[in-house]
Amino acid sequence: MVGCSFVPKSTGTVQSVKSSPRREIRRVAKTDLLELGILRNGSGGLGTIIRSQTTPGCIAGLQLAPLQVHPDDRGFFEEICRLGQDLAQSFTVPKQVQVSAAYSYPGTVKAIHFHLRQTDLWTPVLGQFQVMLYDLRIDSPSFGQVNTIYTGLLRPLQILIPPGVGHGYKVLGTDPALLVYATDQFYDPSDEGRIPWNDPDIRYDWETQRK
């Protein structure tokens, strides 16, 4: 299990953005423990592209782990998780753990979702995903930061997404994709929030890169 490294930039840091009255925050949701918001007129784009679990600039609390795929002439085998171990270490109450699967067609965009209490553990099983993440937590050292992770069969990674981090994905290529994900509580509509995929302040770049 490896946690990402959050490294503030030397100029234009998240800290200075938070303290500057010139940057407005659009409030999204609030509980006793968590307040979520979006920086108005964000920088947009892909943010920091996370290529491995050691890439600097990860959103605080985000964790990645490489997965082992075992191929042979029959296909392949991949272990998803063991409750209470590795990235599933906090998933220790079986009666509250839910495991689901999402099968999506090429070009599908599902975004932007967030949770106030729930932790997600994502395992891309088939296809290729462009995963976007946005730190909505106003008190987080990486508030307003964007991450992009390219993962799937070509780069098998498991992703732990803490509460308050907006997330979504686009299916890349010409094949459908399958995402298996565990959550540390059963589905609760009151815990789930939605932000439009093309939010004008986040301005995430879902387009194919031409460069």
* Beta carbons of 152 and 126 less than 8 angstroms apart: yes
CA 118, 123, 124, 130 dihedral sign is: positive
Other beta carbons within 10 Å of 103? 13
User: Quick one: pLDDT band at residue 8, thresholds 50, 70, 90?
Assistant: low
Which residues, in sequence order, are CB contacts of 28 under 8 Å at separation 6+? 36, 37, 38, 114, 136, 193, 195
Cβ atoms of 67 and 157 within 8 Å: the answer is: yes
Of 89-103, 123-137, 145-159, give the lowest mean pLDDT range. 89-103
Question: What domains are there in the chain, each with its CATH number?
Answer: 2-194 (2.60.120.10)
pTM for the structure as a whole: 0.87
